[in-house]
A and B are shown apart, each in its own frame.
Chain A
């Protein structure tokens, strides 16, 4: 176990390992996405109240769920980087931030598109959407802070501190926004709050969530590999690798 973790810290080893992982993950992700999308968009029954417009949850909910999980991945990598000073953790954190930000943006845009037929407005200050917006700001803060530092090692540490504080804060933010929303508007239509979602709709949703987790892992790995290529553009092992190809 420890040797495995130790190996993970070595860029050349990780580059090879992640290459294998990507080769496996790519077909799995594409299959899951295709099956989930066809099942959710074509096979699952329409909602009796919202008709077909509800189907956007097959994109919106997975994106929202994975975006939040992505922040925890980033913060965890930040903690590892601060405590054990492993460079690969820096790379993970740096790679996770833009992926998470894009997922959050997808969740926001699909939420807005869903809002139009549901509430008749593109933007409603619903608890979930508001929380997503704040999550987007948190992500953008990490990305912007990283870009602002010239010394990238220092940048990674600063981002680690920020994302850890953000991680502590996220449950408080989500809870406070929930309270704020329930105080101001009695919940008439909730986004996904109904626990009585029919299993014929639920299974494709779970499948799509799984697919998005795979998608996140895949893009994270690809992003990390790109980051590694750039960081080690002058190092011997990479030149050798390129030479071999």
Chain B
């Protein structure tokens, strides 16, 4: 939109959008707590389903923790852009003289801090509950820290593509689960390597590469997808 006023720098725009979305998240603590609670409860189901044998649980724990993290991210991303779309904020963002990719990334970052980041911080606790050996705990946390960046960005893409569709929830899972496969593989392998005394660094590096790659590619795709949702 043409405007006579001088444009704000993208960094300022990012920061404002980040703070605005962050404040909106903070006013409903349930939205922050729910994914963590979900994670906690699903983790509880596994010993009940598999039996309490510590060796079995310990062997399966990297996979369990990562799969549940992936499911939690599905739950979060389902409503990432929903309120923006419904209340018309997205229209205004689309009219702004700034790339939608930047403002969307600001919201995604706030969302990640409130869910993925917290999950990564708390994950050693859940790891201990499943009997994950001590050597794996730090790697679990770091792998989730890098991995949730990818999961959140890919989830945001799914949300951007399906936000205008009624009952888009199940569709969202279909769209983003296949895209999350490499993240899951690199993440679980890193933790397993750490437990077995191998070197998890190379797998963490791969995860870091994926995170950087999706930070570059995903916002552009998300911006385009949000435009499509407004157009539909």
- Is there direct touching of A and B in the complex, by C-beta distance under 8 Å? yes
Closest to B232 in A: A154
Does B37 count as interface, using CB distance less than 8 angstroms?
no
* Inter-subunit contact A149/B174 (CB<8 Å): no
Does A10 count as interface, using CB distance less than 8 angstroms?
no
Cα(A157)–Cα(B226), bound, Å: 11
A interface secondary structure, majority: helix
Stretch at the interface among B23-31, B97-105, B179-187: B179-187
Cα(A183)–Cα(B171), bound, Å: 32
Determine the chain A residues whose CB is within 8 A of the CB of B178 once the complex forms. 134, 137-138, 141, 166, 169, 173
Determine the chain A residues whose CB is within 8 A of the CB of B231 once the complex forms. 151, 153-154, 157
Q: How many residues of A contact B (CB 8 A)?
A: 32
* Inter-subunit contact B175/A162 (CB<8 Å): yes
Q: Which of B177, B178, B189, B225 has the most CB of A within 10 A?
A: B178
Does A35 count as interface, using CB distance less than 8 angstroms?
no
Q: For B189, give its contact among A140, A148, A149, A180 (CB under 8 Å).
A: A180
The answer to whether residues A158 and B225 also contact, given A134-B178, A169-B179 and a CB cut-off of 8 A, is yes
Does A86 count as interface, using CB distance less than 8 angstroms?
no
Q: For A145, give its contact among B161, B186, B210 (CB under 8 Å).
A: B161
* Inter-subunit contact B165/A148 (CB<8 Å): yes
* Inter-subunit contact B189/A183 (CB<8 Å): yes
The answer to whether residues A161 and B179 also contact, given A148-B171, A172-B210, A180-B185 and a CB cut-off of 8 A, is no
Does A165 count as interface, using CB distance less than 8 angstroms?
yes
Q: How distant is A188 from chain B, measured CB to nearest CB, in Å?
A: 21
Determine the chain B residues whose CB is within 8 A of the CB of A109 once the complex forms. none
Does A56 count as interface, using CB distance less than 8 angstroms?
no
* Inter-subunit contact A179/B228 (CB<8 Å): no
Determine the chain B residues whose CB is within 8 A of the CB of A150 once the complex forms. 232
* Inter-subunit contact B224/A82 (CB<8 Å): yes
- Per-residue contact bits, chain B 82-125, to A (CB 8 Å; 1 contact, 0 not): 00000000000000000000000000000000000000000000
Q: How distant is B186 from chain A, measured CB to nearest CB, in Å?
A: 6
* Inter-subunit contact B161/A172 (CB<8 Å): no
* Inter-subunit contact B185/A176 (CB<8 Å): yes
Cα(A176)–Cα(B217), bound, Å: 19
Determine the chain A residues whose CB is within 8 A of the CB of B229 once the complex forms. 154, 158
Determine the chain B residues whose CB is within 8 A of the CB of A176 once the complex forms. 181-182, 185-186
Does A177 count as interface, using CB distance less than 8 angstroms?
yes
* Inter-subunit contact B182/A158 (CB<8 Å): no
Q: Which residues, 42 to 86 on B, are CB-close (under 8 Å) to A?
A: none
Cα(A158)–Cα(B160), bound, Å: 9
Determine the chain B residues whose CB is within 8 A of the CB of A145 once the complex forms. 161-162, 171, 175
The answer to whether residues A173 and B181 also contact, given A137-B174, A162-B161, A162-B175 and a CB cut-off of 8 A, is yes
Determine the chain A residues whose CB is within 8 A of the CB of B217 once the complex forms. 165, 168
* Inter-subunit contact A179/B174 (CB<8 Å): no
- Per-residue contact bits, chain B 196-212, to A (CB 8 Å; 1 contact, 0 not): 00000000000000100
Determine the chain A residues whose CB is within 8 A of the CB of B165 once the complex forms. 148-149
Cα(A132)–Cα(B67), bound, Å: 20
Does A26 count as interface, using CB distance less than 8 angstroms?
no
Q: How distant is A18 from chain B, measured CB to nearest CB, in Å?
A: 28
- Per-residue contact bits, chain B 8-21, to A (CB 8 Å; 1 contact, 0 not): 00000000000000
Q: Which of A144, A148, A158 has the most CB of B within 10 A?
A: A158
Closest to B231 in A: A154
Q: How distant is B159 from chain A, measured CB to nearest CB, in Å?
A: 12
Determine the chain A residues whose CB is within 8 A of the CB of B162 once the complex forms. 145, 148
Determine the chain B residues whose CB is within 8 A of the CB of A82 once the complex forms. 224
Determine the chain A residues whose CB is within 8 A of the CB of B171 once the complex forms. 141, 144-145, 148
Cα(A56)–Cα(B99), bound, Å: 51
* Inter-subunit contact B210/A158 (CB<8 Å): no
Cα(A158)–Cα(B217), bound, Å: 16
Does A164 count as interface, using CB distance less than 8 angstroms?
yes
Chain A to chain B: the 8 pairs with minimum beta-carbon distance, closest first: A154-B232, A176-B182, A137-B178, A176-B185, A141-B175, A151-B232, A157-B228, A180-B185
Inter-chain pairs besides A161-B161, A164-B221, A176-B185, 13 sampled, C-beta below 8 Å: A82-B224, A138-B179, A141-B174, A153-B231, A154-B229, A158-B229, A162-B175, A165-B157, A165-B221, A166-B178, A172-B182, A179-B185, A179-B189
